[in-house]
Amino acid sequence: MNWILANSKPCPKCKRPIEKNQGCMHMTCTPPCKFEFCWLCLGAWTDHGERTGGFYACNRYEAAKQEGAYDESERRREMAKNSLERYTHYYERWASNQLSRQKALADLHQMQTVHLEKLSDVHCTPESQLKFITEAWLQIVECRRVLKWTYSYGFYLPEHEHAKRQFFEYLQGEAESGLERLHQCAEKELQQFLAADGPSKEFDEFRTKLAGLTSVTKNYFENLVRALENGLADVDSHAACSKTSSSKNASVSKGKGGKGKGGKMGGSSKNGDD
């Protein structure tokens, strides 16, 4: 329904939603209606002439736009368009992580069935010591699953809760950045060792790097999941602490600045307790 509202307009005669599939503003409704109208003002095309700016320059719409005379359907269409763009933003990222997860599962399977044995032979290392690669891919698969659903969470997070949204997007961004570094390392940097002729000290450096990225990424996602499970409550607790701190500071300032007995009672001992 959002797509229809955002990308079509009702025919002024039969009221069916019409999609604009060509560049000019001269619209012809589909049969059996065949009503000809202007896409901009929805007026009959036969009414367009010199007084409206010509057949290809309908200025009645522009005049109404400048006067702020949008009708209800135009307002709903604009809202639908914004809603559709927002939905598309979150859906594309949900779908992209879903595809990345499926590819990671395939890469994990190939690693376990083919590449580990090859790496073991080339680098003279027992397969038991190559578990860090499998662990990295398992972490990638799990993180892609979690990251995918965080975009659903973000879509339904209320717009008015700005602090929670900022906190959520920060945690999500940190986790996503860590995952991209890990995924690139496991996917691309590993290729040179699969194509190597023999063992090298660079492989040991790669082992340290990949294991480190796996650990860091795991921590990022654990923090993200913990925050989401708590309903981003950390934002509320930080706000409460800030509010309490501000009120205490105000009380201390008032005590110091007071006159007479009140000022003396709010002296050093009480302020020290605060």
Q: Is the dihedral of CA 48, 53, 58, 62 positive or negative?
A: negative
Residue-by-residue DSSP string for 159-209: TT-HHHHHHHHHHHHHHHHHHHHHHHIIIIITHHHHS-SS--HHHHHHHHH
Which of 151, 159, 160, 176 minimizes the C-alpha distance to 228? 151
Residue 148 neighbours by CB under 8 Å, 6+ apart: 94, 97, 98, 101
Count the alpha carbons within 13 Å of 174 in the hemisphere toward its beta carbon. 15
Which of 14, 24, 33, 185 is flagged as catalytic?
24
Spatial distance between the Cα atoms of 255 and 267, rounded to a whole number of angstroms: 7
Burial of 250 (C-beta count, 10 Å sphere; 0-12/13-18/19+): exposed
Find the helix or strand (DSSP H, E) in which 10 lies: strand 8-10
Residue 42 CA: distances (Å) to CA of 11, 28, 61, 124, 272: 8, 11, 9, 75, 74
Place of tokens 């290809």: 56
Residue 165 CA: distances (Å) to CA of 55, 84, 121: 48, 20, 49
Q: Is 24 an annotated catalytic residue?
A: yes
Which of 76, 71, 69, 85 minimizes the C-alpha distance to 5? 76
Active-site residue list? 24
